[in-house]
Amino acid sequence: MNYIFFFLIVFSIIFGIINGRTQEVVNGMLSGADLAVKIALSLIGIMAFWLGIMRIAEKSGLVQLIAKLIKPITKWMFNEIPPESPAIGNIALSVSANALGLTNAATPIGLKVMQDLQEYNEEKSSASNAMCMFLAMNTAGFQIVPATVIAVLVAVGSKNPTEIIVPTMIVTSIAFISAIVLAKLFSKFWTPQIISNKERSDSNA
């Protein structure tokens, strides 16, 4: 990605010089940097608020409650993972963060989930079905409240930033369901054994 941005910057400067519009290129770079800082600062408040809500939900046991409520679903989706695994609770937390549009908050949670799922993976050199399922879910990115996007729209002066909520819910719901169904269908080609917590502890010992 760094190479791509470097390529774009260099070619913008070169074409600006060729067309005699160097000043416009410089002004565009400076104004873009200024806008980026303003947007980043505007995200601090809404991100801090929702991250605080997620932390409260985690400490109050709400995440564990959600994990119990969705247990029948997660048991079907992640049948390679024992129901008592802490990965189930972390998956619920990650899905909740994504649903609220907190993609930045969901990233470290997602990494923790992948570490948990890797412990149950027999083929360490390749992703398990559970890992592929979780990756598909996160890539689809189901959202109820796209908080980050709303904050960006507010920062750039949108008059009605919340009008994207319904379209976002429709599109991400379709993508989310499609990702789960496809991941489940493709999992038929690979059926690894389930490693229990006891077996995992014995192997680590």
Q: Say how many C-beta atoms besides its own lie within 10 A of residue 163's C-beta.
A: 12
Contact present, 89 and 64 (Cβ < 8 Å): yes
Residue 160: domain span = 49-204
- Quick check: is 67 in a domain? yes
CA 86 to chain centre: 19
- Quick check: is 37 in a domain? no
- Quick check: is 5 in a domain? no
- Quick check: is 16 in a domain? no
* CA-angle at 80, arms to 79 and 82, nearest 5°: 85
- Quick check: is 28 in a domain? no
Please name which of 120, 136, 125 lies closest in space to residue 192, comparing C-alpha atoms.
120
Q: Say how many C-beta atoms besides its own lie within 10 A of residue 30's C-beta.
A: 10
The runs of H, that is alpha helices, within the chain are 2-18, 22-59, 62-69, 71-77, 86-99, 103-119, 129-140, 147-155, 165-186, 197-204
- Quick check: is 33 in a domain? no
- Quick check: is 62 in a domain? yes
- Quick check: is 148 in a domain? yes
Domain count, the chain: 1
pLDDT tens-place values along the chain, 205 residues long: 788 878 888 888 888 888 888 888 788 888 878 877 877 776 677 667 766 776 787 688 776 677 677 777 777 788 778 777 777 777 877 777 777 666 666 777 788 888 888 888 887 778 888 888 888 888 887 877 777 777 777 777 778 888 888 888 898 889 989 988 888 888 777 655 444 444 545 555 5
Largest Cα separation within the chain, whole Å, is 70
**pTM, full prediction:** 0.60
Give the span between the Cα atoms of 38 and 141, in whole angstroms.
26
